[in-house]
Amino acid sequence: MRYSPSHLSIQFKQQLGCSPIEYLIQLRIEKASILLEKTNASLRDIAMGVGYSDVYYFSRLFKKRVGVSPTKFRQKKQGSDLVKDSPSMSERYSIVDWSFQDYIEHGYQYNERKYEPMNKRGLSAIATLFLCLTLLLSACSSGTSSNTGGGEKQASTTQAVSVSQTKMVSTMKGDVEIPVNPERVVVMYYTGDVLAFDVTPVGSSKIQEGAAFEEELKTVESLGEWFEPNVEAVIQLKPDVIIIPSKDELYDQMQKIAPTVMIDFSTSLDERLTKIGEVLGKEKEAKELLANFYTKVEDSQEKLEEAGISDKTVSIMEGGKGKMSVVISYTFGRGSQAFYEYLGMKAPDIIQKKIDDKNNTNEAIDVSLEVLKDYAGDYVFRSSYDGMVDLTDHPVWSNIPAIKEGRLIEIDFGFCYYNDIYSLSKQLDFIVDQLVATTKN
């Protein structure tokens, strides 16, 4: 639709009163309800059919939305509404083999039904209600202790323990009081940095497919896009602390749920990791992680030097339909930070001048295929993803020296999307191994 994800979300919410994620969740639950009531398909098949690969997560989400488990919902509906031998019902599902996958992900079918929000007052009312209930329950549970005669002493002891178990952390939004050693961490975007401390978050923003830490996040609840998470889901996780990138609107939402630490996108790796280490109560580990990382950087540089590659130029490209997007910044992702900042490799002069220009605010530029040769380095790394344009037989692309001579290396979009310390470490390994391998062919 030629929209950025954030602009699409804003326009979508203005038109329909909810975010795309909330719309999709409600649509999935609605379709699942129909399948549970009208078919005998297994719970796993229905979960997969409406877009959830984890049947247990689907069951929890369904119960939270509908009020009963999928199994009880089916028993109730089929027991009261569905006459199993009714010809009018059987003919709807026995004539053709219906496909679950057509309901949500691939068919984009909705039978032109008008979407109506679950709550006409909007999501903010729902989120506020959940937050109030959470706070109320917390207050009730904290006030249930019995008075055994030593009430004053017990209260003062409890207060002292409470004080000793929290600390103040300075952030770009001012001082924030957080637990000394938070156990339930929710993180947006900086997931790899948190994982590097051997801390598995209870919830994380959506992870790009192919990310270096994708496997480690399989059991962690996905909260949607980092800039527009599912607020209700975050509330349900009852986090001790929330770590987010710099976005005021996001901060306003999250800080109402739990102590929130916002870290600027422009913060250096050292500063960011040091701050996250402070938040997690792992200051010593932060120093060790950085020391080990910079040792790896030095080792990687030495390997390139020994292979005679360190002085070669590198270009990072993406796209292919009539033009290519060429990275002109070392902060854009796509491996740019690993190449240009840590490995110290250079781009062709026409690109390097833009990288070195402190006034350059662009991260990539579109270049037509006809002049792409001028932007191609000794090595070309192409950010790859499903559905990208196949340029194998394109005469201009195929005659670029790096492509023609086998120095094109595909690097997965999701793998090189992040610039956290976990991802950067994996990217360094991949890049160095791929570059060195070309010298042995």
**Position 392, amino acid:** T
- Rounded CA gap, 93 and 383, in Å? 44
Contact yes or no for 375/349 (Cβ under 8 A): no
- Total residues belonging to the chain: 441
Quick check: 176 and 261 in contact, CB under 8 A?
Answer: yes
Do 343 and 300 contact (CB within 8 A), yes or no?
A: yes
Question: What are the distances in angstroms from CA 166 to CA 95, 157, 194?
Answer: 64, 15, 20
At position 368, the amino acid (one-letter code) is: S
Residue that is written with structure tokens 């001012």 in the block: 174
Write the burial class of residue 171 (CB in 10 Å: 0-12 exposed, 13-18 middle, 19+ buried): buried
pLDDT at 288: 96
Q: Is the pLDDT at 58 greater than 90, yes or no?
A: no
Distance of alpha carbon 117 from alpha carbon 127, whole angstroms: 14
Domain 5-123 identical in fold to domain 164-281: no
For residue 246, give the 3-state DSSP assignment: coil
Return the half-sphere exposure (C-beta side, CA atoms, 13 A cut-off) of residue 87: 0
Q: Which pLDDT score, from 0 to 100, does residue 441 have?
A: 66
Question: 3-class DSSP state for residue 283?
Answer: helix
Q: Domain ranges in the chain?
A: 5-123, 164-281, 296-438
Distances (CA, A) of 230 to 6, 18, 199, 224, 267: 14, 11, 22, 6, 26
Residue 6 confidence (pLDDT): 66
The answer to whether the CB of 185 falls within 8 A of the CB of 258 is no
Which of 264, 104, 283, 267 is CA-nearest to residue 180?
A: 283
Side chain identity, residue 24: L
CATH code, 164-281 = 3.40.50.1980
pLDDT single digits (tens) 280-339: 999 999 999 999 999 999 999 999 999 999 999 999 998 877 788 999 988 888 899 999
pLDDT tens, residue by residue, 20-53: 888 888 899 999 999 999 998 888 889 888 988 7
CATH class (in words) of the domain with range 296-438:
alpha beta
CATH of domain 5-123: 1.10.10.60
Of the chain, the percentage scoring pLDDT greater than 70 comes to: 80
Q: What is the pTM of this model?
A: 0.63
Contact present, 360 and 328 (Cβ < 8 Å): yes
Kindly state the tokens that stand for 65.
């939305």
